[in-house]
Structure 1
Amino acid sequence: MDNEEVKLLLVKYITGEATPQELELVKQWISAHPENEQYFAQLYETWHNMLYLQPKVVNKDNAYDKFNSTLEPETPHRYARLITWGKVAACVALLAVVSVTFYQRYSKNIQSVKQIAVNRGTIKKVVLSDGTIVWLNADSKLNYTADFGKTTRTVYLEGEAFFEIAPGKKEVPFIVNTKNYTVRDIGTKFNLKAYATDQFLETTVVKGEVSVEGNVENNHEMNRIYVKPRQVLRIYYRPKKESYTYSAPDIKNMNEIQVSEVDSAKLAKYDGWKENMLMFEDATLKEIASVLERRYNVSIIITNNELGNIRYSGSFKNVPDIEKVLAIIKGNTAIDYIKNGNVINITKTNDN
């Protein structure tokens, strides 16, 4: 196949327009060389990243322009063995056809994005059409398109989820997109935490393996990192200068990447939430408050930074009332609290 045939087939494959014969040709082409697979992955992920944008705020013209830019032959050296660009006129004509095809498909599919949303104070277990089991933690959202399980197994997560991936074909990988990073499943069970209000992404592999890489379009470019069983990867975001709305940012942790080993007995610290367990190990009161707010649908106010930095270790199983949790923490740390409706004020013991 020449370059024009390849690109048109890739478009039809990604958008679900390919015939069975064309599907087989694409699969053969992808498996023929690692650079073919890399190029396909770039187009595949750009397409699906566009689809998972919020329909209410998406700008279709911007999305069209954005995808156009990914198809421009601006870096031929990167795929030198993949593509030898022909005449300029031919490339321009091909670009126009490819862009229009994607844009038409995009306009149709953006309206078919499905969302599973979980409110604060609740946990939800769902089974996707490919058999994958997903537990969604409180205040989380999972987006996917109507053709999930057919031509794609890509989802978009905001919040926290535990994935138990169903076996699938190699040419339809299971991919979890977050705002800043892309996680590819190479195994079966992993936890992924990517709340918009957190300053980090965290993934914990229970079984199998995952790879994590940054999204270039969000200025989080990062080489692919592989996370193996009983490993935890935490990536601290580097906030943009104009987004510094909080005081005294922790410069030490900006853009820091941490990989640590976890004993099997302590995995519940990362995935125990789906079994109604909360486990904290040397966590600050501020970190604990963030978890409790989501779990119990409350707002917690800590009176000062010194108090927020108090550290605590402990675990709770099937505790339906936040006041019972706070009472246990109070028994081990120098805090007091007042609950007024859904608002909890935490102060130092004996503060007036």
Structure 2
Amino acid sequence: MDNEEVKLLLVKYITGEATVQELEQVKQWISAHPENEQYFAQLYETWHNMLYLQPAVVNKDNAFNKLSADIEPKQPSRYARLITWGKAAAAIALLTAVTATLYTRYSKNVESVRQIAANPGAIKKIVLSDGTQVWLNAGSKLNYTADFGKTTRTVYLEGEAFFDIAPGKKTVPFIVNTKNYTIRDIGTKFNLKAYATDPFFETTVVKGEVSVEGNIDNNVHEMSRIYVKPRQVLRIYYHPKKESYSYTAPDTKNLNEIQVSEIDSAKLDRYDGWKENLLVFDGTTLSDIAKVLERRYNVTINMTDAELSSIRYSGSFKNIPSIEKVLAIIKANTAINYSVSGNTVNITRNNNND
């Protein structure tokens, strides 16, 4: 295959227009060299991030500039091995050609994006056209294109969702893109947590197996991919930005820690119980509990004492209608006081319980 053939195949694959035979050709090209796989993963992730992040705002110039910048090789010498039949110049030429071709399709595709959102304080269940069931947690958004279920089964998630994936053709895998990672599998059940304001990414597999792909780079996981099996939790932490309290734009180059842990079947509800209005905390810090409660009850929680955030609490709540009742239960077992004014909650230390 020459560069033009590769360019056309990659574009058709990424935009969901490839035939079965073309899908096989792309897979063979990807598997021919590790650098081919890295390049494809980067290009694929960039395309879907561009397509789904802001479906209501189409700025062609910004889209082209961002797409070009995101896939431009930082070290040309490293990418000299991207294409087994070419040199560095050929690799860069292919990058430029694919970028330009994808750009011409960007406006057309972005206009077809559909979005479903669960408002703060609410949980929403939906059934996609392929039969997949999705529960969206409070403050979450799920985006997908109008041709979902035909040539592609790719969605974009911002927030938290539980997926019960319907069986499908092996040539059309179910893929969930998040800001930093891609989750891939067919016929499985898993919970995925990828809130922009959280300092971590997390997925919990209930049934089946998923692969998590992206900028994963440490001594344990060398291939930018981690497989998560039933009753396992993968959590990837980000380094917090020192100049800002916000985690709205985690940098995948600054990964802090990657954890894969086994969990008992009896404790799975800690990760997916939310879809049944069950909140489970197992030695969870008060700062993490506050984030969950803010989304569930659509409130803002302030803690004036910095030491409060490290207090740990264990307990479960089923169908509790108001945050006051949740806080009253926590207060009975923890050294805190609280006050509620409208949608604002203030939590302070109760020194009398020390």
TM over 0.5: yes
* Paired position in structure 2 for 1:269: 270
Matched, 1:288 2:284: no
Q: How does 1:306-345 map to 2 (within 5 A)?
A: 306-345=307-346
Matched, 1:27 2:28: no
| Deviation of the 1:152 alpha carbon | 1.9
| 8 Å contact from structure 2 (residues 337, 349) kept in 1 | yes
1: CA distance between counterparts of 2:24 and 2:90?
A: 28
| Deviation of the 1:350 alpha carbon | 6.2
| Deviation of the 1:270 alpha carbon | 0.4
TM-score, length-normalised on structure 1? 0.83
Q: How does 1:175-186 map to 2 (within 5 A)?
A: 175-185=175-185
Alpha-carbon distance change, 284 to 3 in structure 1, aligned in 2, over 3 angstroms: same
2: CA distance between counterparts of 1:95 and 1:336?
A: 58
Q: Which runs of 5+ in 1 are unaligned?
A: 247-252
| 8 Å contact from structure 1 (residues 85, 91) kept in 2 | no
2: CA distance between counterparts of 1:183 and 1:29?
A: 22
2: CA distance between counterparts of 1:26 and 1:89?
A: 22
| Deviation of the 1:113 alpha carbon | 1.4
Of 315-324 and 9-18, deviating more is 9-18
| Cα displacement string for residues 6-28 of structure 1 (whole angstroms, at most 9, x for unaligned residues) | 3213323433555xxxx133033
| Cα displacement string for residues 199-240 of structure 1 (whole angstroms, at most 9, x for unaligned residues) | 111111111111223349xxxx98211111111111111245
Of 272-281 and 341-350, deviating more is 341-350
Determine helix, strand or coil for the equivalent of 2:256: coil
Alpha-carbon distance change, 318 to 13 in structure 1, aligned in 2, over 3 angstroms: same
2: CA distance between counterparts of 1:40 and 1:15?
A: 13
| Deviation of the 1:129 alpha carbon | 1.5
Determine helix, strand or coil for the equivalent of 2:101: helix
Of 138-147 and 43-52, deviating more is 43-52
- In structure 1, what residue type is equivalent to 2:5? E
Q: How does 1:1-352 map to 2 (within 5 A)?
A: 1-17=1-17, 23-32=19-28, 35=31, 38=37, 41-56=41-56, 59-68=59-68, 70=71, 74=76, 77-80=80-83, 83-85=84-86, 98-185=98-185, 188-215=188-215, 223-240=224-241, 243=244, 255-349=256-350
| Deviation of the 1:279 alpha carbon | 0.4
2: CA distance between counterparts of 1:87 and 1:158?
A: 36
Of 316-325 and 57-66, deviating more is 57-66
Alpha-carbon distance change, 202 to 17 in structure 1, aligned in 2, over 3 angstroms: closer
2: CA distance between counterparts of 1:97 and 1:35?
A: 21
Alpha-carbon distance change, 96 to 178 in structure 1, aligned in 2, over 3 angstroms: closer
Alpha-carbon distance change, 99 to 180 in structure 1, aligned in 2, over 3 angstroms: closer
1: CA distance between counterparts of 2:348 and 2:87?
A: 70
Alpha-carbon distance change, 42 to 290 in structure 1, aligned in 2, over 3 angstroms: closer
Alpha-carbon distance change, 90 to 258 in structure 1, aligned in 2, over 3 angstroms: closer
TM-score, length-normalised on structure 2? 0.83
Determine helix, strand or coil for the equivalent of 1:274: helix
| Cα displacement string for residues 24-57 of structure 1 (whole angstroms, at most 9, x for unaligned residues) | 3303313446525836555433322221121455
| Deviation of the 1:98 alpha carbon | 4.5
> Percent identity among equivalent residues?
72
- In structure 2, what residue type is equivalent to 1:190? F
* Paired position in structure 2 for 1:250: none
Alpha-carbon distance change, 240 to 301 in structure 1, aligned in 2, over 3 angstroms: closer
Aligned residues: 334
